[in-house]
Structure 1
Amino acid sequence: MSEPPGGARAPALAGLGDRIRRLRLARGLEQDELAARAELDREQLVGIEQGGTTPTLDVLAQVAGALDVELPRLFTDAEPGPAVMVLRGNEVPTVDTDGMAVQVLTPRAVVPGLYAARCRLSPTSAGVRPVRHEGHDWLYVLSGQLHVDFEQGATTLRAGDSVSFSARVPHRLSALGGVPAEFLAVGAALLAPPRGED
């Protein structure tokens, strides 16, 4: 996956805050209610909605979960597409935050509850902080070494290796060996997350 050009980040995030605000209002939620559901400070959510704050991908995942939508829904106003949809590699925007570059390969929900992304994690990054969310994740390493820390135990994956796990298990990703770790991430989200759980 190539480095994003200097102006690629803006189009990828264009309209993000307004889209989140409209989804929130459509669900009858106040900002403090959505912030609480997403485990964010209200000020952080306000910054995202107003476009003054660039959220990390794990924060966006928390917001998407709190809105009961899939992550790609935050990046597009397009309705779910046809049964067959082709994405050309040079048309897929790359969002790069904190050393993690991500190309969302399912910008429209062709299969409800399913998302796929191509990721590149820099070896100089501090790593993705521990996250957990609803559903199940599957990671497949394309190149480099991807280290996955779980709540109990850890594993290092190399090219051709994969791991699948409940995304409710806290997990943290980092790249080893001094080179970026490139991998595919596929997730199956629960469309109606149980309420009242952590």
Structure 2
Amino acid sequence: MGLKIRGLRNEKRFSLKMLAERSGLNINTLSLIENSKSSPSVSTLQQLAKALDVPLSAFFESEPSAKRIVFTTHDHRPGAEFSHAFMQNLGKDLKDNAVQPFIVTLKPEAGSGEQMIVHTGHEFVYCLSGKIEYIIEKESFTLIPGDSLVFEAHLPHQWTNIHHDESQLILVLYPADQHEEPGGRHFPIE
């Protein structure tokens, strides 16, 4: 249920804070529900359905089957907004989460936070515009348009947009564990 609610929220491009305000629910309660640590009551589901502008039945519809081929047009990219970034998923519903490709737009001075990120698999970054600094195991890499970086994601890493304007990158995650969703670890939630 939690993943379904998160998916509907992301489809609407609502932050957790926006959904809390629209539904009248506490942001911590929403976080617990989305992370399947709390089960919503029927009245809570009704509030969420109204806030998301979906029928109550939307929470109970079965997930589409995983796809072996995913075609995403430029105007139908499912996205998620974070405090300082917007992330578009280019591989939604891909079978086994074998690869997780995203286009990420970073606001000026946006960063992954002070906490280093660690997850399974590998990470590929390609700078489309702007200037992004990645720190991997205390080594700094500055990416400008056309630069790329590939590394083992278990190495502690973090990033910052060091450009005065928005920066954009292609981020491809190759998690070793198909149930892991490392994309969310890269963007602090406020």
The aligned counterpart of 2:94 is 109
Which has more radius of gyration? 2
Cα distance 1:134–1:173, how it changes in 2: closer, same or farther (>3 A)? Answer: same
Matches of 1:159 and 1:183 in 2, distance apart?
Answer: 9
Matches of 2:76 and 2:153 in 1, distance apart?
Answer: 29
Which sits farther off after the overlay, 164-173 or 102-111? 102-111
Amino acid at match of 1:166: E
**1:150-172 Cα distance to aligned partner (Å, 9 max, x none):** 22211110000000001111111
The aligned counterpart of 2:12 is 11
Same amino acid, percent of matched pairs: 18
The aligned counterpart of 1:25 is none
Matches of 1:51 and 1:94 in 2, distance apart?
Answer: 25
Cα distance 1:100–1:51, how it changes in 2: closer, same or farther (>3 A)? Answer: farther
The aligned counterpart of 1:128 is 112
Cα distance 1:124–1:192, how it changes in 2: closer, same or farther (>3 A)? Answer: closer
- Find 2:130's aligned residue among 125, 129, 144: 144
SS in 1 for 2:161: strand
2:173 counterpart of 1:172: no
1:1-198 to structure 2, matched below 5 A, reads 9=10, 11-12=12-13, 46-48=32-34, 49=36, 77-81=63-67, 83-110=68-95, 112-125=97-110, 127-129=111-113, 130-191=116-177
**1:69-121 Cα distance to aligned partner (Å, 9 max, x none):** xxxxxxx922112x433211211122111201100110012475211000011
Q: 1:47, CA displacement in angstroms?
A: 4.7
SS in 2 for 1:131: coil
Cα distance 1:191–1:164, how it changes in 2: closer, same or farther (>3 A)? Answer: same
Cα distance 1:169–1:94, how it changes in 2: closer, same or farther (>3 A)? Answer: same
SS in 1 for 2:75: helix
Instruction: Extract unaligned runs of 5+ from structure 2.
Output: 1-8, 16-27, 41-61, 180-190
Matches of 2:29 and 2:97 in 1, distance apart?
Answer: 31
Give TM-score scaled by structure 2 length: 0.60
Matches of 1:148 and 1:9 in 2, distance apart?
Answer: 26
Amino acid at match of 1:152: K
Amino acid at match of 1:123: P
Matches of 1:119 and 1:51 in 2, distance apart?
Answer: 31
The aligned counterpart of 2:24 is none
Amino acid at match of 1:171: H
Aligned length: 134
Cα distance 1:157–1:124, how it changes in 2: closer, same or farther (>3 A)? Answer: closer
